Amino acid sequence: MSDLADDYAGAGFGRPLDWGEKPAVLLIDMVRAYFQPDAELYMGSRDCLDSAARVVAAARTAGVPVIYTRVAYGPGGIDGGLFFRKVGALRHFVTGSGSDLGEIMPDVAPEAGDLVITKQYASAFFGTTLSATLAANRIDTLVICGVSTSGCVRATAVDAISYGYVPIVVRQGVGDRDPRPHEANLFDIAAKYGEVWDEPVVTERLAR
């Protein structure tokens, strides 16, 4: 191993977390804003969307719940606080703005009975009912796909482990506009906050 790898291993980072008894798939902000080429938040690739669609299909076949998040704000972003002021492109998610960029992509569209959580901040947990819903349904493992790796995915993974849920991030099912923060955050998540698994491993596990 490299000196850096030895250093991380010596500090005890990266110990594995086990897949629990009852998983759910969580799709974070898979909306048009990130996949429409003329949008400010366009990431330049739809690879993570295609991967997420395969994970969702595997979950549905196995009867595993699929949960979605999307972002929406009240008039003028009144409920977006400093986050809304910090990130200008969030104005496209204001309710009544006439923009369709907050719509979930049809490739992974919710079905009847799926839960869609509306959030205003990065984490899917912050200011939402997600943790209470997971607890009530005895969910213990969150399979995470979505965007962006360095933002909402990481924030959600950190909160997931903080609330006692095992976060399993699907490597091919998450994306970012820049490969540098993408890879750095996957490294950090695997070291400190959860698991980062390849898509085939996840779909095989969902099928059990």
Which residues are identified as catalytic?
152
Distance CA 206, CA 182 (A): 25
Tokens representing 141 are 């493992």
H or E stretch covering 202: helix 199-206
Distance CA 41, CA 18 (A): 34
**Alpha carbon distances (Å) from 121 to 87, 118, 126, 127:** 11, 10, 7, 8
Q: Are strands 66-71 and 166-175 parallel, antiparallel or unpaired?
A: unpaired
Distance CA 37, CA 35 (A): 6
Please name the residue that has the structure tokens 């204001």.
94
H or E stretch covering 166: strand 166-175
Contacts of 43 (CB under 8 A, 6+ apart): 34, 35, 147, 148, 175, 176, 177
Tokens representing 92 are 């496209």
